[in-house]
Amino acid sequence: MQDSRDSTSAPLADLAASLPPSLKIVLLPEQSVPDTQVLVITLARAHKRNALDDTTVLGLAAVFEALPSTVRAVVLEGEGEHFSAGLDLSELSERDIAAGIAHSRLWHRIFREHPVRPGACHCRIEGRCHWWRRLELACAAHLRVAETSAYYALPEGQRGIFVGGGGSVRLPRLIGVSRMTT
Protein backbone atom coordinates (compact mmCIF):
# COMPACT_ATOMS: atom_id res chain seq x y z
CA MET A 1 0.00 0.00 0.00
CA GLN A 2 3.02 2.30 -0.03
CA ASP A 3 4.64 3.76 -3.13
CA SER A 4 8.20 4.58 -4.10
CA ARG A 5 8.07 8.06 -2.48
CA ASP A 6 7.46 6.45 0.88
CA SER A 7 9.83 7.19 3.69
CA THR A 8 7.32 6.00 6.27
CA SER A 9 8.59 5.58 9.82
CA ALA A 10 8.18 2.23 11.57
CA PRO A 11 4.93 3.14 13.39
CA LEU A 12 3.39 4.51 10.20
CA ALA A 13 4.66 1.52 8.22
CA ASP A 14 2.71 -0.74 10.57
CA LEU A 15 -0.33 1.50 10.16
CA ALA A 16 0.02 1.51 6.36
CA ALA A 17 0.07 -2.28 6.37
CA SER A 18 -3.16 -2.38 8.39
CA LEU A 19 -5.10 0.08 6.22
CA PRO A 20 -7.76 -1.02 3.75
CA PRO A 21 -6.70 -1.09 0.08
CA SER A 22 -8.81 2.05 -0.42
CA LEU A 23 -6.18 4.18 1.40
CA LYS A 24 -2.50 4.78 0.85
CA ILE A 25 -0.23 6.85 3.04
CA VAL A 26 3.15 8.36 2.25
CA LEU A 27 5.31 10.29 4.67
CA LEU A 28 7.26 12.87 2.69
CA PRO A 29 10.91 13.42 3.64
CA GLU A 30 11.69 16.30 5.96
CA GLN A 31 12.42 19.48 4.07
CA SER A 32 13.68 22.66 5.71
CA VAL A 33 12.33 22.28 9.25
CA PRO A 34 13.78 19.39 11.29
CA ASP A 35 11.26 17.00 12.84
CA THR A 36 8.47 18.39 10.67
CA GLN A 37 6.88 16.08 8.14
CA VAL A 38 3.98 16.01 5.71
CA LEU A 39 1.78 12.93 5.38
CA VAL A 40 -0.03 12.36 2.09
CA ILE A 41 -3.22 10.28 2.32
CA THR A 42 -4.50 9.03 -1.02
CA LEU A 43 -8.03 7.79 -1.58
CA ALA A 44 -7.24 4.75 -3.71
CA ARG A 45 -10.55 3.71 -5.23
CA ALA A 46 -10.09 5.20 -8.69
CA HIS A 47 -12.23 2.40 -10.19
CA LYS A 48 -15.13 3.85 -8.14
CA ARG A 49 -14.07 7.48 -8.58
CA ASN A 50 -12.80 7.33 -4.98
CA ALA A 51 -16.30 6.94 -3.59
CA LEU A 52 -16.34 6.80 0.18
CA ASP A 53 -17.44 3.73 2.14
CA ASP A 54 -17.41 2.88 5.85
CA THR A 55 -14.13 0.95 5.59
CA THR A 56 -12.35 3.95 4.11
CA VAL A 57 -13.79 6.39 6.67
CA LEU A 58 -12.71 4.14 9.56
CA GLY A 59 -9.28 3.84 7.91
CA LEU A 60 -9.01 7.65 7.78
CA ALA A 61 -9.87 7.79 11.47
CA ALA A 62 -7.14 5.24 12.22
CA VAL A 63 -4.58 7.32 10.30
CA PHE A 64 -5.44 10.53 12.15
CA GLU A 65 -5.40 8.77 15.51
CA ALA A 66 -1.92 7.32 14.87
CA LEU A 67 -0.17 10.45 13.59
CA PRO A 68 3.22 10.98 15.19
CA SER A 69 3.97 14.42 16.64
CA THR A 70 6.48 15.12 13.85
CA VAL A 71 3.67 15.24 11.27
CA ARG A 72 2.67 18.89 11.01
CA ALA A 73 0.48 18.73 7.91
CA VAL A 74 -1.66 16.20 6.08
CA VAL A 75 -2.56 16.33 2.39
CA LEU A 76 -5.64 14.38 1.35
CA GLU A 77 -5.92 13.57 -2.34
CA GLY A 78 -7.76 11.24 -4.68
CA GLU A 79 -6.12 8.74 -7.00
CA GLY A 80 -6.94 9.14 -10.68
CA GLU A 81 -9.09 11.84 -12.25
CA HIS A 82 -11.43 12.53 -9.31
CA PHE A 83 -11.06 13.59 -5.72
CA SER A 84 -14.23 11.68 -4.98
CA ALA A 85 -17.63 10.90 -6.42
CA GLY A 86 -18.99 11.01 -2.87
CA LEU A 87 -20.85 8.33 -0.98
CA ASP A 88 -20.52 4.85 -2.46
CA LEU A 89 -24.17 4.15 -3.24
CA SER A 90 -23.51 0.39 -3.25
CA GLU A 91 -22.90 0.76 0.51
CA LEU A 92 -26.40 2.07 1.17
CA SER A 93 -28.68 -0.32 2.96
CA GLU A 94 -32.05 -0.22 4.62
CA ARG A 95 -31.63 0.94 8.22
CA ASP A 96 -34.10 1.74 10.93
CA ILE A 97 -34.06 5.30 12.25
CA ALA A 98 -31.74 4.56 15.18
CA ALA A 99 -29.20 2.75 12.99
CA GLY A 100 -29.31 5.52 10.39
CA ILE A 101 -28.67 8.17 13.02
CA ALA A 102 -25.84 6.13 14.56
CA HIS A 103 -24.22 5.69 11.14
CA SER A 104 -24.50 9.40 10.37
CA ARG A 105 -23.07 10.33 13.77
CA LEU A 106 -20.08 8.04 13.24
CA TRP A 107 -19.10 9.81 10.02
CA HIS A 108 -19.89 13.23 11.47
CA ARG A 109 -17.67 12.54 14.50
CA ILE A 110 -14.77 11.35 12.34
CA PHE A 111 -15.00 14.36 10.02
CA ARG A 112 -15.35 16.74 12.97
CA GLU A 113 -12.56 15.41 15.16
CA HIS A 114 -9.84 13.97 13.00
CA PRO A 115 -8.92 16.43 10.25
CA VAL A 116 -8.18 19.09 12.88
CA ARG A 117 -5.19 17.13 14.13
CA PRO A 118 -2.19 17.55 14.13
CA GLY A 119 -2.34 21.10 12.79
CA ALA A 120 -3.23 21.44 9.15
CA CYS A 121 -5.16 19.17 6.82
CA HIS A 122 -5.27 20.14 3.15
CA CYS A 123 -7.47 18.62 0.43
CA ARG A 124 -6.21 18.60 -3.16
CA ILE A 125 -9.37 18.48 -5.26
CA GLU A 126 -9.58 17.70 -8.94
CA GLY A 127 -12.42 16.36 -11.02
CA ARG A 128 -15.59 15.34 -9.22
CA CYS A 129 -16.26 16.27 -5.61
CA HIS A 130 -19.84 15.37 -4.70
CA TRP A 131 -21.38 16.60 -1.51
CA TRP A 132 -22.17 13.14 -0.25
CA ARG A 133 -19.58 12.65 2.40
CA ARG A 134 -16.57 13.63 0.31
CA LEU A 135 -17.30 17.33 0.04
CA GLU A 136 -18.14 17.03 3.72
CA LEU A 137 -14.63 15.67 4.28
CA ALA A 138 -13.16 18.51 2.20
CA CYS A 139 -15.15 21.02 4.27
CA ALA A 140 -13.63 19.52 7.44
CA ALA A 141 -10.11 20.25 6.19
CA HIS A 142 -8.32 23.47 7.04
CA LEU A 143 -7.59 24.30 3.41
CA ARG A 144 -9.06 23.14 0.11
CA VAL A 145 -7.04 23.52 -3.08
CA ALA A 146 -9.17 22.99 -6.16
CA GLU A 147 -7.68 22.50 -9.60
CA THR A 148 -9.45 24.00 -12.60
CA SER A 149 -11.02 20.61 -13.37
CA ALA A 150 -12.82 20.51 -9.98
CA TYR A 151 -16.60 20.71 -9.83
CA TYR A 152 -19.05 20.22 -7.02
CA ALA A 153 -22.48 18.67 -6.85
CA LEU A 154 -25.22 18.37 -4.24
CA PRO A 155 -27.30 15.41 -5.47
CA GLU A 156 -28.83 14.23 -2.18
CA GLY A 157 -32.16 15.94 -2.72
CA GLN A 158 -32.68 14.10 -5.99
CA ARG A 159 -32.26 10.79 -4.17
CA GLY A 160 -33.87 11.62 -0.83
CA ILE A 161 -30.68 11.06 1.13
CA PHE A 162 -29.95 12.94 4.35
CA VAL A 163 -26.69 14.92 4.51
CA GLY A 164 -25.18 13.22 7.52
CA GLY A 165 -21.44 13.95 7.58
CA GLY A 166 -21.63 17.50 8.89
CA GLY A 167 -21.36 19.31 5.56
CA SER A 168 -24.73 21.02 5.89
CA VAL A 169 -23.25 22.87 8.86
CA ARG A 170 -19.71 23.44 7.54
CA LEU A 171 -20.41 24.53 3.95
CA PRO A 172 -22.56 27.59 4.84
CA ARG A 173 -19.79 28.73 7.20
CA LEU A 174 -17.27 28.48 4.36
CA ILE A 175 -19.24 30.00 1.48
CA GLY A 176 -22.05 31.89 3.21
CA VAL A 177 -25.72 31.12 3.68
CA SER A 178 -26.78 33.23 0.68
CA ARG A 179 -24.73 31.08 -1.70
CA MET A 180 -26.26 27.94 -0.20
CA THR A 181 -29.80 29.10 -0.79
CA THR A 182 -29.43 30.36 -4.37
Residues that are catalytic:
136, 156
Q: Which amino acid is at 166?
A: G
